[in-house]
A and B are shown apart, each in its own frame.
Chain A
Amino acid sequence: MENMINLTIDGVQVSVPAGSTVLDAARKANVHIPTLCYLKDVNEIGACRVCVVDVGGRALQAACVYPVSEGMVVKTNTPAVRRARRMVVELLLSIHDRKCLSCPRSNNCELQDLCRDLGIDDDNRFAGEVIAHSVDDASPCVVRDNNKCVLCRRCVAACHNQQNVGVIGAVKRGFGTSIESPWGLQLAQTGCVGCGQCIVACPVGALREKDSIRAVDRLLESGKHVFVQPAPAVRAALGEEFGLPVGTPVTGKMVAALRRLGFEKVFDTDFGADLTILEEATELVQRIQNKGVLPMITSCSPGWVKYCETYNSDFIPNLSSCKSPHEMLGAVIKSYYAEKAGIDPSQMAVVSVMPCTAKKYEARRPELSNNGLPDVDEVITTRELARMIRSAGIDFASLPDEDFDRVLGESTGGAVIFGATGGVMEAALRYAYEAITGQELKQVEFHEVRGLKGVKEAVIDLGSLKLNVAVAHGTANAQKLLDSVRSGEKHYEFIEIMCCPGGCVTGGGQPIVKSSKRAEINVSAARAKALYSEDEGKPRRKSQENEELKVLYSEYLGEIGGHRAHHLLHTTYTARDPYEQIK
């Protein structure tokens, strides 16, 4: 029996496990305590003092870190508490760039919420010295504007603890404190992997994605044939931007919206995902049969690929040589489809809609091109797509459900689940099982690789072969997994790694969920559920059953993993030094 502690919060009796904080207990008692620096499981440091409460002592205490004790009497809404919270927020406002009208986080800002909830009626009460920070927009993925930073350190916790990257931190002290990279470097000059987990952790507008909407507009008015492809995870989250509950799939409306935005064809990155499975699983089988480098590690996640290149370059030979699904599809659009439709590839442009900010960097990699043309021209995030839809005046809720364009629009359930951690592994197993055993796979679901455990392991029975697999999400978890392989403690044949915790569904380009909501629901699980239910509803659930894909191979690519496929669909990697810019 767990040791329970009894306390009273605003007159409500509540009983919580020992070790809980006052904030935990208040949530159980349905008492709302405002927070700012607190982000459940990510940042719990009591820095901002917005959550102060009266616990009967001399000083007010931060509810997010103050432990409960037996018989404690907590008051959360006395005039003194409210006054203290207001002052904390007013002091923050005194150094805050209050241009809410043009802020990307307007209407989804935790500081704005606090001002409203706490009744701030003077945003200039403590006017005084302000340090003007220059905006760091040199990275292709992330823009940092410290004029809007509230020093909550949620981004620092995400970068260090979840991602084990740690290229930002608090610099200097007191009034001069700012969150930045060491030695005055821009983010682009560091070993930043571009994952954008700092953006989705930020309560305000200090971090945002590098906007590509204007570049897409220029493509749309360039006279080129502009094709668009959305990633699997986008359809599981886009609806949230239009008020739908977390985990509502909106595939049909998303396709309709993209068509109305003026794209010539709406193809599906899921087709590219099925293509990736065929190439990647074949590569795995070949590596096993030819005693190649094992474990093979997936290469779909560009944040992970850059992390590997930068911090674990000894694992580069283990990375699958497969391009990521949207790059594969881009390459196919500009070759196979160009030929089929009779369009000069140089007059084509491909726009990818991704749950990811690192994809913006990936698309610029010179090796991801064919005949001097990039496979993908521009990448926008789910959030940017939502902005485009809003500014085009499209009423998302009333859109009909439409389907992807042929002949690169079909997909199987295996592709859909790419967006969740373990999904690529599961899809690959659905193919590898049949390829290796020669028998039909009856039970297509591999539940042992699903779920949100940091590192998942399984032994898959493929007849004569027992396949040892592992799945990690969040690069801090990935690092633990790699360390265990490097030390010889663990042996696997196949590993899936996704850069972001939860996989692409909670990527750095996805709709931002406020801290209060993240304390209530598990966003990764809810969005993943949308993908798994879509998988269940698909008539075909194995990538090898994709009919359009079969046509692509028979008409154009030839053999899986063959010469033409290799030329178009595979790539190379480069070892990188995290601080090469300041040698």
Chain B
Amino acid sequence: MPDSKEKFELLNQVIEELKDQPGALMPVMQRAQNIFGCVSLDVQKVIAEKLGVTLSEVYGVATFYSQFKLKPAGKYTISVCLGTACYVKGSQKVLDRLSEELNIPVGDTTDDGLFTLQATRCLGACGLAPVMTVNDEVYGCLTPDDIPDILAKYRE
């Protein structure tokens, strides 16, 4: 992994490469997210300054598109399926319980950097509904009461 200084050097190269094309903001932000894993305040400030746009514009774009993350993703990304089958089998309740246990809204990352919580579309495991994944591990036939034990496993 490149360190922070190298990452900013990479970002500067990307900006140099793209800055003269019309509508450079979006591709620069996408490449920045690839480099840093998110578009944090420091990254946004550099983009704003180098592209000659305001921080307001950069932040507006970053919050408009759900693909942009303001914080780096946690060590474990929990994805709860809200596809039709999982939803009718109660996956919203599972998601709500996760949000409550982690004390973050959907789409956010815990302050300790351990968990990112997100909702996804169909994971293709409808037979196991409701389903969620933690990184690459799949959990099926969930009830909200299963959540504390699963989280405890990753907190160890």
Does B bind A? Answer: yes
A→B interface (CB under 8 Å): 160, 166-173, 181-183, 578-579, 582
Q: Are B54 and A579 in contact (CB under 8 A)?
A: no
Query: Would you give the shortest CB distance from A373 to chain B, in whole angstroms?
Result: 38
Q: Are B63 and A172 in contact (CB under 8 A)?
A: yes
Q: Are A172 and B55 in contact (CB under 8 A)?
A: no
A170 and B64 CA atoms in complex are apart in Å by 9
Query: Would you give the shortest CB distance from B17 to chain A, in whole angstroms?
Result: 25
B→A interface (CB under 8 Å): 41, 44-45, 54-60, 63-64
**With contacts A579-B45, A582-B41 known, is A182 near B58, CB below 8 A?**
yes
Partner of A168, one of B44, B56, B63, B64: B56
Q: Are A169 and B45 in contact (CB under 8 A)?
A: no
Q: Which residue of B lies closest to A159 (CB)?
A: B56
Partner of B54, one of A160, A173, A582: A160
A sample of 13 inter-chain contacts (CB < 8 A) reads: A160-B54, A160-B56, A160-B57, A166-B54, A167-B54, A167-B56, A169-B56, A169-B57, A170-B64, A173-B64, A182-B58, A578-B55, A579-B45
User: Which A residues touch B54, using CB under 8 A?
Assistant: 160, 166-167, 169
A182 and B63 CA atoms in complex are apart in Å by 10
A340 and B137 CA atoms in complex are apart in Å by 85
A171 and B55 CA atoms in complex are apart in Å by 12
**With contacts A166-B54, A167-B54, A579-B55 known, is A183 near B60, CB below 8 A?**
no
What 10 A-B pairs are tightest by C-beta distance, nearest first?
Answer: A166-B54, A182-B59, A169-B56, A169-B60, A173-B64, A172-B63, A182-B55, A171-B63, A166-B56, A182-B56
Q: A160-B54, A182-B55, A182-B60 are in contact. List 9 more A-B contacts (CB 8 A).
A: A160-B56, A166-B57, A167-B56, A169-B54, A170-B64, A171-B60, A172-B64, A181-B56, A578-B55
A169 and B56 CA atoms in complex are apart in Å by 5
Query: Would you give the shortest CB distance from B115 to chain A, in whole angstroms?
Result: 22
User: Which A residues touch B59, using CB under 8 A?
Assistant: 169, 171, 182-183
Query: Would you give the shortest CB distance from A288 to chain B, in whole angstroms?
Result: 34
Query: Would you give the shortest CB distance from B51 to chain A, in whole angstroms?
Result: 13
User: Which A residues touch B57, using CB under 8 A?
Assistant: 160, 166, 169
User: Which A residues touch B55, using CB under 8 A?
Assistant: 166, 182-183, 578-579
Looking at B54, B56, B59, which has the most chain A CB atoms within 10 Å of its CB?
A: B56
User: Which B residues touch A167, using CB under 8 A?
Assistant: 54, 56
Query: Would you give the shortest CB distance from A15 to chain B, in whole angstroms?
Result: 35
A170 and B62 CA atoms in complex are apart in Å by 11
A171 and B45 CA atoms in complex are apart in Å by 16
Query: Would you give the shortest CB distance from B144 to chain A, in whole angstroms?
Result: 24
Q: Which residue of B lies closest to A184 (CB)?
A: B59
A530 and B5 CA atoms in complex are apart in Å by 59
User: Which B residues touch A579, using CB under 8 A?
Assistant: 45, 55
Q: Which residue of B lies closest to A170 (CB)?
A: B60
User: Which B residues touch A172, using CB under 8 A?
Assistant: 63-64
A30 and B41 CA atoms in complex are apart in Å by 50
User: Which B residues touch A578, using CB under 8 A?
Assistant: 55
A579 and B44 CA atoms in complex are apart in Å by 12
User: Which A residues touch B60, using CB under 8 A?
Assistant: 169-171, 182
User: Which B residues touch A182, using CB under 8 A?
Assistant: 44, 55-56, 58-60
A171 and B54 CA atoms in complex are apart in Å by 13
User: Which A residues touch B58, using CB under 8 A?
Assistant: 182
Query: Would you give the shortest CB distance from A483 to chain B, in whole angstroms?
Result: 11
A216 and B45 CA atoms in complex are apart in Å by 40
